[in-house]
Structure 1
Amino acid sequence: MTGTATAPAATAVPLTGPSSGQRHRRRVRSYWRFYLALSPFYVLFAVFGLYPMLSTIVLAFQRWDGLGARRFTGLENFRFLIEDPTFWLALTNTVVLFLMSTVPTLVIALVLAVMLQSAVRFTSVYRIGYFIPNVTSLVAMAIFFGSVFSTNFGLVNAMLRSLGIPEQDWLGQPWGIKIAISTMIVWQWVGYNTLIYLAGLQAIPRDQYEAAKVDGAGTVRTFFSITLPQLRPVILFTVVISTIGGLQTFTEPQVMVGNSGGTGQSGMTVVLFFYRAAFLDNDYGYAAAIALSIFALVLLFTAINWRIFRGRGEDR
């Protein structure tokens, strides 16, 4: 009787895929073209963005005149900054100019946007006209407004004379300087914000206005109940951008009243103060401390604006 031979059971060999390291290398090889295309941005950012920021932080704790050896001073620059009355004067001027220019700019821009949305003819012409001041050279505008507010031959004083009102030395008085600078800022940025608000208005669904009209809501009620709530993200954007720009005001006062800030240093802003410390006094360590303080102020005011608008949105 012959036995039947049985074949040995086959041993299952587990299938092993590529390791995580192999998958990563394969992914890098497959996407290297994309990394290569993006590399110029990161190189430029590292050279002209990241390195200057890190260098400014290090320089803020040193004393350097731009030529000699650097000397570590710790928190000396920040202590001197806190005790410097010119810095607090420049900060006060910056906040005052920010309020005098930003609030009218955004209010006028919103009104113009609502009017432009309801316009039927020449809408494109209006848009181009509103945006022209934003692309005009700042230096040219500062020279122009310096002439407009000139004491002897300025347009503003000519209008005052025609009305029998005494002339004013606009660029020789503290508040006159602030009025002249803020007027220029309003004229420059009102058109830009108008177009932003107009884009936000056009994004609001028309059926909401139709429903409000059916319910008998008037123009004022519709504006405060529909338009403003729907525009809240756009308004937040313009407020943040205006805050960042307002705290960096520099060209306007420098061209109109000079590096000294004019009478009583009423046109001295924190950025102009930084410019004087760095490029006139050659105190780069102190200027770096001023730059960091400006950065902190921008973050603080931006966070406050964000919190105010976000809190109002959550309350509703």
Structure 2
Amino acid sequence: MDQGIGRRAAGRRQVTRPSRWNRFDLHGSPYVFIAPFFLLFAAFGLFPLLYTAWVSLRSWDLTGDAGFVGLDNYSRLLGDPDFWNALVNTLGLLVLATIPQLLLALIVAAMLNRPLRALLLFRLGVLAPIVTSVAAVAIVFGQLYGRDAGLVNGLLGLVGVDPIDWQASKTSSWIAVSSMVNWRWMGYNALIYLAAMQAIPRDLYEAAQIDGAGAIRQFRNITVPLIRPALIFTVVMSIIGGMQLFTEPLLFGQGDVSGGSLRQFQTIAMYMFEQSFQNFDYGYGSAVAWMIFLLTVIVGVINLLIGRRLRGGTQ
């Protein structure tokens, strides 16, 4: 009798023992699901990055690979005034196209988070710039900032300001290009902020209202601290996009990759394109590309450290 009980218990253990497929489904399937991302990243992200680093260490032009030159391309880059001019332009456009954009997005998100009539229509409206063709945006803004018959100069003339040649100087061209970037991406960031705001419990606002806090104080003490992860995300993404800014200034200059007669609005990405695909200096262009990557990482790390310091100061 004892032996029969033992055999039945052993049979139950064999039945409940997970099969090899079940063990794979439990432990291996997550890796299968995330594998496509890493395969695509390795093929279209990691390999081009490493290959560009290899090319940047060589003298490579239209005639082919002329051999290994070490860090000569980088030393030449650091002494190139056109590169530093492009870096200044990129950082200037980054500031003008990031700070106003995120501030306006925060204000628009706060307005859309309030009860309004036709709220869905307004929320869909902020997406219109994202789905609009970049070429169409460049054509419209090119007309707006036209020197002789532009709408902006016409409005400035009403208050006694002389017409401005928006492509003639750094300041005016930066304002024009950054306005294109701000208009195009402000709605995207506003929707991210709106999603974060709607996740905040309404009880916090009701309690603050009972305590006598007004709308501005609620926004400053409740909304902004609780959407800080969304703020950090948009800042990082805006910095990455700003360091790689290419399309808007290129179309603003009617396809001139030099960014104006005096390179007044040429970004680093435009300078890389000029060296690689107009001058056919692939080694030097690859060095510029890697410098863009390194600068983006440096700016991102600085932003991360500032964010941590701010979080530590508010806790």
Place the TM-score, normalised by the shorter chain, in its bin: 0.7 to 0.9
Q: 1:201 to 1:40 in 2, by over 3 A?
A: closer
Q: 1:287 is paired with a residue of what secondary structure? A: helix
Q: Does 1:220 align with 2:192?
A: no
| Corresponding residue of 1:77 | 73
Instruction: Give the TM-score, by structure 2 length.
Output: 0.86
The one of 268, 273, 276 equivalent to 1:275 is 273
Tell me by how many angstroms 1:274 deviates: 0.5
Q: Which runs of 5+ in 1 are unaligned?
A: 1-22
Task: Quickly say closer, same or farther: Cα 1:205–1:174, change in 2 above 3 A.
Answer: same
Residues 35 and 301 (structure 1), Cα distance of their counterparts in 2 relative to 1, 3 Å cut: closer
- CA gap of 1:220–1:70, structure 2 versus 1, over 3 A, is same
**Aligned to 1:200, which of 196, 203, 209?**
196
Q: How many Å apart are 1:143 and its aligned residue? A: 2.1
> 1:117-147 deviations in whole A, cap 9, x for unaligned?
1132111111111011012122221222112
Distance (whole Å) between structure 2 residues aligned to residue 217 and residue 39 of structure 1: 50
Do residues 287 (structure 1) and 285 (structure 2) align?
A: yes
- 3-state DSSP of counterpart to 1:239: helix
Q: Distance in 1 between matches of 2:194 and 2:34?
A: 34
Asked if residue 113 in structure 1 is aligned to residue 109 in structure 2, the reply is: yes
Q: CA deviation at 1:157?
A: 1.4
For 1:156, the aligned partner's letter is V
Return the offset for 1:50: 2.5
Structure 1 window deviating more from structure 2 (51-60 vs 168-177): it is 168-177
Identity over aligned residues, as a percent? Answer: 42
Q: Give the number of the structure whose alpha-carbon radius of gyration is greater.
A: 1
Partners of 1:305 and 1:69 lie apart in 2 by: 38
**CA displacement 1:132-169 (0-9 Å, x = unmatched):** 10121222212221121011221111222334432111
Q: How many angstroms apart in 2 are the aligned matches of 1:33 and 1:209?
A: 43
Unaligned runs of 5+ in 2: 1-18
- Output the aligned Cα RMSD: 2.4
The question of whether the paired residues in 2 share the 8 Å contact of 1:150 and 1:171 is answered with no
Task: Name the amino acid aligned to 2:104.
Answer: I
1:167 aligns with 2:163: yes
Larger CA deviation: 168-177 vs 297-306: 168-177
SS in 2 for 1:171: coil
Asked if 1:182 corresponds to 2:174, the answer is no
The amino acid across from 2:300 in the alignment is T
Paired with 2:224 and 2:32, the residues of 1 have a C-alpha distance of 45
Q: 1:39 to 1:214 in 2, by over 3 A?
A: closer
Matches of 1:151 and 1:281 in 2, distance apart? Answer: 31
Paired position in structure 2 for 1:57: 53
1:64 match: secondary structure: strand
